Amino acid sequence: MKYLLCIFLAVGASLNAFAASSPDPDAKTLQGNWIPAKAELAGQPMPDAILKTISLKLDHGKYEVYVGGNPDQGTYTIDSTSKPKGMTITGTEGPNRGKIFPAIYELKGDTLRICYDLSGAKRPIEFKSLAGTKLYLVTYSRKKE
């Protein structure tokens, strides 16, 4: 019995070490500069004038958002194995400092779609922004450098 327990522990440790050394496949692809093509908050479309003032940079687990020249910074983690794929955003500097936003994302080529729960309550289950909620749905396009 002790022998079986040792085998399970060794296999478990090996899998954990493998998982830690194998970064999420989307981690590298998400990196870069993004601009919103369209967005909705609580079911209402964001005006183009506001969208033009927003930019997002994702870089090795850190994010930087500018809205009208005002910075917001923090970290993000992803889980590309969940359905839909999950993301957790944690504000460290700026207006969202100390806040955590659960989100889902979808990455297709140079298009990144993210649905955030700005209430921080729970991860959205679909890419919809409904009236009466704090769901923020954004479709970003990769900024060409």
Give the number of other Cβ atoms within 10 Å of residue 104's Cβ: 22
C-alpha 34/C-alpha 145 separation (Å) is 11
Q: For 22-76, what is each residue's pLDDT tens digit?
A: 478 889 999 999 999 999 999 999 999 999 999 999 999 999 999 999 999 999 9
Q: For 65-110, what is each residue's pLDDT tens digit?
A: 999 999 999 999 999 999 999 999 999 999 999 999 999 999 999 9
pLDDT at 12 over 80: no
DSSP state string for 71-104: EEEEEEEEETTSSSEEEEEEEEESTTTT-EEEEE
Is the peptide bond between 84 and the residue preceding it cis, with omega within 30 degrees of 0?
A: yes
Q: What is the pLDDT at residue 83?
A: 95
C-alpha 43/C-alpha 49 separation (Å) is 18
Which domains does the chain carry?
Answer: 25-142 (2.40.128.490)
Counting Cα atoms < 13 Å in the Cβ hemisphere of 80 gives 13
Give the number of other Cβ atoms within 10 Å of residue 65's Cβ: 20
- Whether pTM > 0.85 for this model: the answer is no
